[in-house]
Amino acid sequence: MERFIQVSLLSESKAWIQEGELQTNEMPRLVDILVADGSFLQYRINLERNKKEVTCSGNLEGTLSIACDRCGQPLKLDVNEEFTFKMVPETNLESQNGKEVLLEDEDLDIDFYQDDQIDWLGILEDQAILSLPIRNLCEEQGQSACEIPLNPQEIENLKTDNPFASLNYSGWKNN
């Protein structure tokens, strides 16, 4: 199946629908995050065209294997994501008042496509990445909490990443 859909060739009377299982070689950005085996994602995606606007909806269901941010152990993450958003050609923003385009339909998120093409596998991969937690820890995936001490570099990173780090040195002195 071709990963790019030509928008002008989509029927306006009938939705374009694909269902199947996402293969890891179709998700190059996600593969960098996954660990070990045991990841699978079933998908369904619908594209409905109305002139140059395309409503994209679908769902992803399955399991992703990703590493615990603290100890690195592979954890199974259940994915059950529904999505709906609208796609408009990117040139719309340049040729029209961008605000009008964005405010027409406040209920739906807007994304853009370029050169009359929609990368539907890219959309599915984006949605899968969006379903990942910001922080993935053993105890948040139903495991007992791991207690691997951070290495010195990680402790250093925590200090610089923490927006309140400077407080440690000013108003928050302990006795």
Q: Which residues bind Zn ion (CB under 5 A)?
A: 68, 70-71, 73, 138, 146
The position carrying tokens 């615990």 is: 68
| DSSP count for the chain of H helices, then E strands | 5, 7
The minimum distance between CB 111 and Zn ion, in angstroms, equals 34
> For residues 55 and 143, which CB has a smaller minimum distance to Zn ion in the complex?
143
> For residues 71 and 108, which CB has a smaller minimum distance to Zn ion in the complex?
71
Distance between CA 24 and CA 160 in Å, rounded? 35
> Residue 41's CB: how many other CB atoms inside 10 A?
24
> Residue 70's CB: how many other CB atoms inside 10 A?
18
The minimum distance between CB 141 and Zn ion, in angstroms, equals 9
The minimum distance between CB 140 and Zn ion, in angstroms, equals 9
CA distances from 158 to 136, 146, 151 (A): 16, 18, 11
Distance between CA 161 and CA 170 in Å, rounded? 17
> For residues 90 and 139, which CB has a smaller minimum distance to Zn ion in the complex?
139
> For residues 150 and 165, which CB has a smaller minimum distance to Zn ion in the complex?
150
The minimum distance between CB 147 and Zn ion, in angstroms, equals 9
The minimum distance between CB 89 and Zn ion, in angstroms, equals 44
> For residues 12 and 147, which CB has a smaller minimum distance to Zn ion in the complex?
147
Contact indicator for 127, 83 with CB cutoff of 8 Å = yes
Which residues sit opposite 107 in a β-bridge? none
Contact indicator for 47, 16 with CB cutoff of 8 Å = yes
